[in-house]
Structures are given as C-alpha cells and as structure tokens.
Amino acid sequence: MKKELINYETFINITKSISHSKIPEEIVLMTVDGIKNALDVKGCALFLINKKSQELEIAASFGLSDEYINKGPLSAMQSIADSLKDGPVAIYDVSDDPRIQYPEAARKEGIASILSVPIIVGGRLLGALRVYTAEPWEFTLSDVNFVQALAQFAGMAIDMCRMYQGQKEAVDVLKRMREANIART
C-alpha cells in the first residue's frame, strides 16, 4: 500500500512540474528522475523515435552510465520492438532474451530486467520509456500502469511544448514581417 501511495505522490509531483514547463528537456528529465526514484530502480530512460533513421534517440536518462547510454544506435525494429507496436513489454532476464539489442552492454551495466512502454500521442508513436533494474524484477500491473501513465503524460507534454515552440516561432516571423512592412511604408 505504501508503494502505491508513493507512486501517486510521484505522479502528482511530476505532473505538476511538467504542467509548468514549456521546455521538453525539463519534462523528460523530471519524468525519468521521478520514475527511477519512485520505483527505486537502477535507472530510467526516455527515448524519442527518429522517423528518418528509425532509431530510438535518448532524450534523458537517470541512473545509467554514459558508456551504456552511448553503446550504439538503438534500432526501433530490433530493440524491444514489440513494445512500440503492441504495448508494454517486461523482460525478466535481459541476458537470455533475444529482444535485447545489446545484451553484453546490459550485463556489463548490471541490468537484470527492463520494462519498456511506448509513448503514443494522438495515434503517433513518439518513442519509448524504459525502466532498468539491477535485480530480476517481476513488474506488477501497478508498476506497468504507473510507468505507462507517466510515459503518456510526458508524451502529451512534449507534444504540447513542440506546438508551443512552433507557434511562438510563427508569431515571431509574423511580427518581423509586419515590422518590415511598416518600415517600408
């Protein structure tokens, strides 16, 4: 019961912080930090999909080494690809699972289990949120729902930040055009 209470408190704190931010980098950092601490796991990372290369690019991580984060490109088609198509995937033993793209790097990092959930906004796949544990972990439905809810909320916030930044840029362009027209008259 205490764990669920912590998760609700974490969810409230993260969503409150996210709702005040218009900077995508802050949103992803708050999300991965909050999940890592709430679940008391080894690490957490948020990846955004690059539509051109079909690679998952790290947006933020917490608790993972730079060596692990920079181990090589993550193919959206190879690295726990099921989670991007079918929903959350929990891997109990990363050393013995063919869905892991870099099993040796995971072993060296001390990762035993991974939970991967997709980030989907408006029917569009934005990326994935992954939780990493140092000990084998049977992710509960509560764990999965907690991570999935924060992944979706972070995805919506990232999408809104992108729209806000695009709108701000468009307004700036219109202002410059208006000023140029006024200067010519």
What are the residues whose beta carbons fall under 8 Å from the beta carbon of 181, sequence distance 6 or more? none
Q: What is the rounded CA–CA span in Å between residue 59 and residue 21?
A: 16
* pLDDT at residue 177, rounded to an integer: 66
**44 C-beta neighbours (distance < 10 Å), count:** 26
* Model confidence pTM above 0.85: no
Q: Which residues are 127's β-sheet partners? A: 48, 119
117 contacts 151 by C-beta, under 8 angstroms? yes
* pLDDT at residue 176, rounded to an integer: 64
60 contacts 32 by C-beta, under 8 angstroms? yes
Domains and CATH numbers, the chain: 2-184 (3.30.450.40)
Half-sphere exposure of 125 (CA within 13 A, CB side): 20
Per residue of the chain (185 residues), give pLDDT as tens: 355 656 677 778 777 777 776 677 787 888 899 899 889 999 999 999 898 998 899 999 999 999 999 999 888 777 787 788 788 999 999 988 999 999 999 999 999 999 999 998 888 889 999 999 999 999 999 899 999 998 988 888 888 766 655 555 555 555 666 666 676 76
* pLDDT at residue 1, rounded to an integer: 35
Q: Which residues are 130's β-sheet partners? A: 45, 116
* pLDDT at residue 111, rounded to an integer: 97
**28 C-beta neighbours (distance < 10 Å), count:** 27
Sheet holding 124-133, edge to edge: 74-75, 55-62, 43-50, 124-133, 113-121, 89-91
Q: What is the rounded CA–CA span in Å between residue 160 and residue 138?
A: 34
* pLDDT at residue 161, rounded to an integer: 61
Give the DSSP H or E segment for 163. helix 141-184
